[in-house]
Structure 1
């Protein structure tokens, strides 16, 4: 074996854990989301064949014949009280489509089941998949493993008739339009301040970056205390403007201001994180450029807008794209603090459809649209904001 081949094999061997991790936790979920967006996948239905039930209780309830009395009946007599479709759907607990009802009606082994019931051969507990496999006469494939129904583009058609889709999408877009420019500019200003040669600058760097390493849940609870009606913000405003007629505002439950309150929190908590990126960029700018500008009589404002900003373009592109992705996907603050559907974002609406409404297929379609929008916005930003001056 050649040296380069051996080297490649060893490299791939060492990289195998991370490659598998990316495939399992990144690539597969993306492919699955695209697939499920074309189906009516429902999480609750996916587990229906894994549940267990007592077949004696189910048959007693369905036929009205007790387990102890069944031996006194013939199988034909028991069959008069038995309907396989109703039994499977209502007593076993498997929701059937019209096609599945026909299959159950034609192929369910009623005689074998009733004979086992009469002779006491049924188990006390049995998994639904095992039960259907035993009594479906070789047609059990559809009743042992959940397979979502393929619906094509139906989820996408439904989406564009959904009022909450438009509301949540607009909220996420508005959130990005307002938060990204402000947090980017604020991060640049913080980076310039942190790059200054003044006493205590390391302390200020730590203070600016502190929100970035604080739990989002903890930050949300702190801002809930600030924004609530009897909270800190209202107490300060009452002390300042109470005589002018100011009345406390419930910022998080007032639809007109709730989203903007979350925006202010997000700007404060993320500007310090992006400051580090700009700080690294500032330290790569030669000091001779600033010295030459000052010699030519440039003011501090002119230096900032004509030298610092243009030379930070690669960092600005990176921060704006990452900020847009984060804002379009904002979820945790909305989940913790927002209680009305008028202020939800698209990520939170995806969560509600998937885990509260049980519409995983529809949620996947929403996720695919969000993916397409974020990709388009990222490409547009790269095109509009040139990395080179």
Structure 2
């Protein structure tokens, strides 16, 4: 088959970009849709492996009946009279069942065959729960092949409305974003302007401001823990002015503010590089013309520099909002009270501490929609084109 040069070029192009496309599909697109699906279920990550769990059926039968298979004068009728299939699977095998699975066990577990195999000593081999149910269920054994969470519709979202910690975490995330984003953006602009000036040592100062953004978040959190702790550096400094030591991170009134200061310090240097690139793209002739007209430094800054940095300001504000609404690591390392948690941290607690992945996924979807709406509004209200 003869292909045109344009088609061959397109095929080669797709081959080259296919690793990136696959990476985006696997690590970005699929998790979003998986999270959307799980948000409508009662997904419990601790139960994913429950049907793969291995056990010895004979031991489970001995626990359930209190009978040893090699005992004398043990009749089938005696065991059948006390055997409860649902209780056996739930408590002696140790598998949590949903309502549909409970009904299936009641109706279709072949108790007669199981008890006879027990008395004959045929249950000594270890097997998985799935294999056991496949062997002893007369029907509906497919319900026990793998864990499938129950579809519960909007239950997780209704629960969210009454969850006080969700509203606390959402409020904290908004307050965090409203304070941190403007401050870190303005500070980053000022740092970029200073770094763009022809002064001695500006390379050193660029490195100093940028280092926090490439340092380990865990390491920086531990440094600030030493600063903010009750016997820490900050309280020692304040003691010289007669102030009593404050437990900055354990006091709900100061903990979130302390984290904000740390975040501004660590991110301003990163965004400084973005603004520095924008500054270096502004023609020097504009500043020269302004100086000839007698414009002072701050006039040039507000009338020339700030408007011409509009594309960078939009980018930094959007990235700042996304980062602040998703802030997690500093909260995880430094804050221990539930009054100062953020949404991302509350998602983590539900997913990995409370083992309620379905509810965590629902919160994650709400956070995703909130960030999507905010960034869309930003793009509508603030155009990328620079203006005078």
Structure 2 CA distance, aligned partners of 1:170 and 1:145? 39
- Superposition deviation, residue 373 in structure 1: 0.4
Query: Is the Cα–Cα contact under 8 Å of residues 85 and 106 in structure 2 kept in the other structure?
Result: yes
Farther off after superposition, 149-158 or 91-100: 91-100
Give the secondary-structure state (helix, strand or coil) at the position aligned to 2:294: coil
Structure 2 CA distance, aligned partners of 1:72 and 1:296? 112
Say whether residues 1:356 and 2:353 are aligned partners: yes
- Superposition deviation, residue 163 in structure 1: 0.3
Matches within 5 A, 1:178-327: 178-239=179-240, 241-242=241-242, 246-327=243-324
Structure 2 CA distance, aligned partners of 1:342 and 1:139? 47
Name the residue aligned to 1:365: 362
Name the residue aligned to 1:20: 22
Give the secondary-structure state (helix, strand or coil) at the position aligned to 2:207: helix
User: Aligned-residue CA RMSD in angstroms?
Assistant: 1.1
Say whether residues 1:167 and 2:164 are aligned partners: no
Query: Is the Cα–Cα contact under 8 Å of residues 318 and 378 in structure 2 kept in the other structure?
Result: yes
Structure 2 CA distance, aligned partners of 1:255 and 1:29? 34
- Superposition deviation, residue 73 in structure 1: 3.0
Give the secondary-structure state (helix, strand or coil) at the position aligned to 1:255: coil
- Superposition deviation, residue 29 in structure 1: 0.4
Name the residue aligned to 1:113: 114
1:264-310 Cα shifts (integer Å, max 9, x gaps)? 00000000000000000000000000010111111101110111000
Structure 2 CA distance, aligned partners of 1:135 and 1:55? 11
- Superposition deviation, residue 386 in structure 1: 2.1
Structure 1 CA distance, aligned partners of 2:249 and 2:125? 52
Name the residue aligned to 1:137: 138
Name the residue aligned to 1:58: 60
Structure 2 CA distance, aligned partners of 1:115 and 1:178? 71
Structure 1 CA distance, aligned partners of 2:13 and 2:290? 49
Q: TM-score, normalised by structure 1?
A: 0.97
- Superposition deviation, residue 67 in structure 1: 3.0
1:27-77 Cα shifts (integer Å, max 9, x gaps)? 1100000000011111112221121112111100101111322x7534333
Farther off after superposition, 13-22 or 32-41: 13-22
Structure 2: tracts of 5 or more residues without a match? none
Structure 2 CA distance, aligned partners of 1:51 and 1:336? 34
Structure 1: tracts of 5 or more residues without a match? none
- Superposition deviation, residue 151 in structure 1: 0.8
Farther off after superposition, 275-284 or 122-131: 122-131
1:244-273 Cα shifts (integer Å, max 9, x gaps)? xx1100000000010000000000000000
Name the residue aligned to 2:158: 157
Name the residue aligned to 2:44: 42
Structure 1 CA distance, aligned partners of 2:73 and 2:27? 58
